[in-house]
Chains A and B, each alone.
Chain A
Amino acid sequence: MNQLIISAATEGEVNPLVPNIWEMGVVLVGFAILMFIVVKFVVPMFEKTFAERAEAIEGGIAKAEKAQAEASAALEEYKQQLTDARTEANRIREEARAEGAQILADLKEKAAAESARITAQAHAQIESERQAAVVSLRSEVGTLATTLAGRIVGESLNDDERAARVVDRFLADLETQNAGAAK
């Protein structure tokens, strides 16, 4: 115990504020070595990782934002295309409807024209046939009548001009009679 006190007392005699020059040297050298290692290896390695990490995170965010922007652009485009397609479809439908109506009207008109034409043709044909019938009847009736009349009156009525005159007169009388009877 006494030794302890003595050693403490002798240590106490050393002024603690006066440095040991060798200790200072060791601290200086040690710290210099540490600084060298830190400057040369530790800080660059950590800073590199920090920078890479920041870049990875920021790059990821930028990439995600870009993808988002692309996706919304694509969506916009699809929507636009859809609207365009709808408008186009409506337009085509409208056109088809108008065209259909046009075609229908054309067909109707054509049909009407055709039917009118057919009717007119039929009328004309009927008229011409009637005319032909009238003509042939008139000549046949005239021939028959003159032959019959010639037989009856014994008079030759072979003179065509006279015969025709007689027939005409007869028919005129007939028509007058008919007209009178009609009245």
Chain B
Amino acid sequence: MHLPAILPWGAAEGFSKQMLLVLLSVVFIAVFFVLAARKQQLVPGKLQFAGEAAYGFVRNGIAKDIIGGKDFIKYVPLLFSLFFFILVNNIYGAIPFFQLPTFSHVGGAYVLAGIVYFTWIAIGVKKNGLRYFKLATVPSGVPWYILPIVIPIEIISNFLVRPVTHSLRLFATMLAGHLIVMIAGYGIEFLVMQENILLKGSSLLVLAGAIAMYMLEALIMVLQAYVFTLLTAIYIEGALHADSH
């Protein structure tokens, strides 16, 4: 299933297919959007229109709607890069020959969630100073005798669990989808090799199920890219407006 290691970089698996796909995704996204944005015209052509629609989806559909205000444009590059980076790397899983959603390897998900984690904390501190940590953990309007329970919960949920769920949600859905498709593939292979004609025929049922799962997985790939970006926007918005939460 996997391509062989290309270069022995001293890493356990050398230069893997996963690494190649990650770098390829950067090339794909950069080439597409630079081409789409290069010859900018007031009345767009087809390529420019597609690029603008994709860009406008993140800019208006996520950044403007969630963060809003006048400053949302500052966070558009991050959200835009995240969305398309994750989208392309997920869609690999649905394309024959590539057939590997790169975030089914957990490292990439940790990296992106970590970038987002430090970004929103930095935004919160820059906006509110060190008071931000108090704003983020001590909810206003809560009676004092509940605070000893609420504050630890807030610390755990905001500063400890949030990056974990953020990264694992992406990784787990991709790995699960990848595994399901892989298991279906192995299953079909196993059933086809059976002597019994009925068992052989039942591989068709598995194939039908695999196709359905493949469709579902393709949907989840797009959805997870959106969810990851949406959550990033929500975290940034929460950091920006910590005093009103």
Contacts and interface: CB of A to CB of B under 8 A. Distances in A.
A22 B42 CA distance: 44
Q: Identify the 9 closest CB pairs spanning chains A and B, nearest first.
A: A19-B107, A45-B37, A22-B11, A24-B107, A27-B108, A23-B107, A26-B19, A49-B40, A42-B33
A31 interface: yes
Given A19-B107, A26-B22, A31 B11 contact: no
Main secondary structure of the interface of B (DSSP, over half): helix
A86 B115 CA distance: 79
B102 to A, nearest CB: 8
Interface stretch (B24-32, B127-135, B144-152, B203-211): B24-32
Nearest to A53: B42
A82 interface: no
B201 interface: no
Contact of A42 (B80, B115, B168, B186): B80
A19 B111 CA distance: 10
Interface in B195-237: none
Given A20-B12, A37-B34, A49 B106 contact: no
A131 to B, nearest CB: 112
Contacts of A21: 11, 107
Contacts of A1: 189-190, 193
B77 interface: yes
A30 B21 CA distance: 10
B115 A46 contact: no
B47 interface: no
A67 B168 CA distance: 60
B190 A49 contact: no
A8 B186 contact: yes
B106 A16 contact: yes
A43 B80 contact: yes
B126 interface: no
Interface of A: 1, 4, 8, 16-24, 26-28, 30-31, 33-35, 37-39, 41-43, 45-49, 52-53, 56
B51 interface: yes
Interface of B: 9, 11-13, 16, 18-19, 22-23, 25-26, 29-30, 33-34, 37-38, 40-42, 44, 48, 51-52, 55, 59, 73, 76-78, 80-81, 84-85, 102, 105-108, 110-112, 115, 168, 171, 175, 186, 189-190, 193
Interface class of chain A by DSSP: helix
B19 A35 contact: no
Contacts of B33: 37-38, 41-42
23 contacts: A4-B189, A16-B106, A20-B11, A20-B12, A22-B9, A23-B107, A24-B110, A24-B111, A26-B18, A27-B102, A30-B25, A31-B26, A31-B111, A34-B26, A35-B77, A35-B81, A37-B26, A37-B34, A38-B77, A45-B38, A46-B37, A49-B41, A49-B52
A27 B112 CA distance: 8
B37 A22 contact: no
A49 B18 contact: no
Contacts of B48: 49
Contact of A23 (B18, B85, B190): B18
A34 B55 CA distance: 14
B106 A35 contact: no
Nearest to A43: B77
Contacts of A37: 26, 30, 33-34
A12 to B, nearest CB: 10
B224 to A, nearest CB: 16
A68 B18 CA distance: 62
B26 to A, nearest CB: 5
Contacts of B29: 34
Contacts of B102: 27
Nearest to B88: A34
